[in-house]
Structure 1
Amino acid sequence: MGDESSTFFTAGGDAYENFMGRYSRPLAPLLADLAGVVPGLVALDVGCGTGVLTSELVRRLGAEHVAGTDPSPMLQTARSRLSAVDLRAGYAEALPFGDDSFDVTLAQLVLHFVDDPEQAVAEMRRVTLPGGRVATCVWDDGGGMSMISAFVDALEDMEVAFPDRLRRWPLGRAGEQSALLEEAGLTSVREEMLTVRTRYESLDELWDILLGGAGPVGAHVLTLSEEERQLVHDAYRRRLGSPTGTFPLEAVAHAAVGTVPS
């Protein structure tokens, strides 16, 4: 994760949980299932953030069999919640663990933020035992993360400038993560689509979450003038179907898993 990406995660653990946790929490067991995380294994959560996936791994394996790493201040939130887990500061491209340390290594919603995803996957392979598995997932680049895609559409509707990173999800297209794992020498690679849903009490709740400044979207909202915010708010409401009360949103991720050769 580069310096620019790191700035997206300085709003605090609670703000990021409100923004993305309601999606990453139901996503975590789906990724763990794909990776074959079952009792008796030792697992690493790469880019653990506030510890959402880490918590799922602990539930399955026990804290003594789980480790995590993250370069952002959100690691402090994970440490406060999961004090018995070995949580270390570090980048995905230089994991602070020895060779062949884990049976399964996972990166949930991480690879699209790192500067060098090829190096990150090479590191995930390095720390994973022969015969072990490496698993990753990234939101679908074709509008699969509706909370964000509708926001970007609203910016375009109002002709409000935005950075390309809000529209493009690196490694968020079918086959991209599988190719990355295969290039790293992993075998038996397969890919699945993982779908999760959440519900908001109102558009005001969702908008307040964006104003919390978490993630690339929240960070961009805070750069808008008051006039731009109002224009985008109204366009966002229209893009979301003009909800008047509680409403659901869906998110779809591409996920891939491969095996380290024996």
Structure 2
Amino acid sequence: MTFEVAGEAYDRFMGRYSGPLAADLASWLAPSTGQRAIDVGCGPGALTGVLVDRLGADAVAAVDPSGPFVEACRARFPGVDVRQGTADSLPFDDDTFDVAAACLVVHFMPDPVAGLTEMVRVTSAGGWVAATVWDLAGSRAPMWPVWDAFGVIRPGGLAEERLPAGTGGELQRMLGAAGVRDVESVEMPVTVTHGTFEEWWTPYLEGVGPIGEELAALSPPDRRRVEDVCRDRLGPGPFDLTAVAYAARGRA
């Protein structure tokens, strides 16, 4: 799965949730002045920006396979070492960082354990290696209203709900398999207020991520059926939606 869309499109779609989640993850890891950190699968830079605020741009690096996301992150955070690359082959030397974090990325890695193992490699002994994933198995990701609506026209659910690392226990297991020590996990809820139904719904039509691709592949009548089911459930707005992520961390 790739995200070859503009950074602004991703921000409208997921940034409203990933931004607060990134801030919570950074607070949990609490990197301090003098340390170096890498944001693996940085996207347009939600976690990158939080790390820059804490450590300074010259102490932060970021990697993403999406060219548009790399361009957006570079433009937003001059001075950050932003490179195009994949988690399973990070373009950095061993023991380069004190903190390596992946926010909402592990479930999109072709080989999550290989990606997490690379994060361990580039982190100095005793440094934090951490990741967050939405509770996909529990249907507590931001997309849950759309998943439910899809069930009306396509019983059996969507492949997105079954992506790897979609439970807290699975994420912990993967970190352990990658060589991370003393792994612990917490839940991180994020509540977002949406002013109108249209403000919530329109970003789903921009083709971002698996759910955007699924919607784009529907016939216009079926897409309208999904929209109508969501509108009936959520109302015209304003309304709050809460998503829950699992966060796990351990020592390299």
TM-score (norm 1): 0.91
The offset of 1:14, in angstroms, is 0.7
How many percent identity over aligned positions? 42
Residue 107 of structure 2: which of 109, 112, 128 is its match?
Answer: 112
Letter in 2 for 1:230: R
User: Where in structure 2 are the equivalents of 1:85-96 lying within 5 Å?
Assistant: 85-96=80-91
Equivalent pairs, count: 250
d(CA) in 1 for partners of 2:5 and 2:63? 19
Other-structure match for 2:61: 67
The equivalent of 1:191 in structure 2 is 185
Question: 1:139 is matched with which residue?
Answer: 134
| 1:63 CA displacement | 0.4
Letter of the 2:184 counterpart: R
Cα distance in structure 2, aligned partners of 1:155 and 1:246: 23
Stretches of structure 1 lacking an aligned partner (at least 5 in a row): none
- Pick from 251, 258, 262: which aligns with 2:250? 258
- Residue of structure 2 equivalent to 1:220: 214
Q: Tell me what 2:118 maps to.
A: 123
With over 3 angstroms needed to count, the CA separation of the structure-2 counterparts of 1:69 and 1:242, relative to structure 1, is closer
Shift of 1:155: 1.0
* Distance verdict in 2 for CA 1:117–1:242, change over 3 Å: closer
| Structure 2 unaligned residues grouped into runs of 5+ | none
Distance in 2 between the 1:101 and 1:152 partners? 40
Q: 1:224 to 1:161 in 2, by over 3 A?
A: farther
* Alignment match, 2:153: 158
Give SS of 1:256's match.
strand
In structure 2, the partner of 1:230 is 224
Query: Matched residues in 1 for 2:167 and 2:43: separation?
Result: 23
Residue deviations 1:180-233 (CA, integer Å, cap 9, x gap) = 112222212110101111111111122211111111111221111111111111
Which is further off, 109-118 or 37-46? 37-46
- Distance in 2 (CA, whole Å) between partners of 1:152 and 1:195 is 19
What value does the CA root-mean-square deviation take over the aligned residues?
1.4
SS at match of 2:12: helix
What secondary structure, in the 3-state scheme, does the structure 1 residue paired with 2:31 have?
A: coil
| Superposition deviation, residue 161 in structure 1 | 8.2
Report the equivalent of 2:36: 42
Q: Secondary structure at the match of 1:106?
A: strand
Q: TM-score normalised to the size of structure 2? A: 0.95
Specify the SS of the correspondent of 1:211.
helix
DSSP 3-state at the match of 2:66 = coil
Distance 2:30 2:231 in 1: 40
Question: Which AA in structure 2 matches 1:76?
Answer: E
- Residue 51 of structure 1 aligns with an amino acid whose one-letter code is G
- C-alpha contact (below 8 Å) 1:158/1:235 kept by paired residues: no
1:22 and 1:188 map into 2 onto residues whose CA distance is 31
1:234-249 → structure 2 map (5 Å cutoff): 234-238=228-232, 241-249=233-241
Give 1:160 deviation, angstroms. Answer: 7.1
Quote the Cα distance in structure 2 between the aligned partners of 1:143 and 1:77.
30
